[in-house]
Amino acid sequence: MPSREYHEALWENVPARVEPPLFVERSSFVLAHVNAGERVLDLGCGEARFAAALADAGARVLAVDVAEEPLRRAREAYPLLELGLIEGEADWPLADAEFDVVWAGEVIEHVADTSRWLSEVRRVLRPHGTLLLSTPAHGTFELARVALSRRARERCLDPRGEHLRFYTRASLISLLGDFRFEQIELHAIGSRLRDQRTLLAAARRSRF
């Protein structure tokens, strides 16, 4: 399991105040699924750009991350946000059924123990609560590019890379179904030519 020091070191190399990839498209997706007054967990919030947008729309947001550096930046930029530090793949210090919505943008591909992580997501979501997530797409087109392009292959398979998991539409739908998420909606955004294809998923936690 990656250590806290590992995550802090990654953030040391990330410039401050850089807009997240596909921010406009992803924030529009999230805001379309969240109502004012709902309690939202922004899981892996980074510098909290999405959390701030949610708060501006009237949601009651808790933004958490596994590293202190992005939270420090978030405190400077958004001093009124509720922020917290968690262990990414341990039990989270959050109450059962505390949230109406969990948003995890570009997080699940970094998770080593996916089963434990999704179990915690289910635990903190209320029954019929909504999971929203985004993750890089690895469908037929993307895999063909990796197969045919040495540059794309080296980038995808770089052993120093941060991504531990790779998702297709089918594998993500199957995974969420295994953890009793229902009404799964999934679509892709971004440019295939620019290697920015991203999956967006919305799913409801089953009652039991």
Q: Answer yes or no: are the C-beta atoms of 190 and 22 closer than 8 Å.
A: yes
pLDDT of residue 145: 52
Fold of 4-137+168-205: Rossmann fold (3.40.50)
- Alpha helix locations (H) across 60-203? 68-77, 114-124, 140-148, 150-156, 169-178
Q: Give domain limits for the chain.
A: 4-137+168-205
Give the model confidence (pLDDT) of 90-112 as tens digits.
Answer: 889 999 999 999 999 999 998 98
pLDDT of residue 11: 87
pLDDT of residue 153: 47
Give the model confidence (pLDDT) of 175-196 as tens digits.
Answer: 999 999 999 999 999 876 556 7
- The one-letter amino acid code at 88 reads G
Closest CA to 106 of 9, 178, 180, 196: 196
Residues of the chain with pLDDT under 70: 1-3, 138-163, 192-195
Count the Cβ atoms, other than its own, within 10 Å of residue 61: 28
Place of tokens 């799913």: 203
Q: Which two tokens stand for residue 116?
A: 């434990």
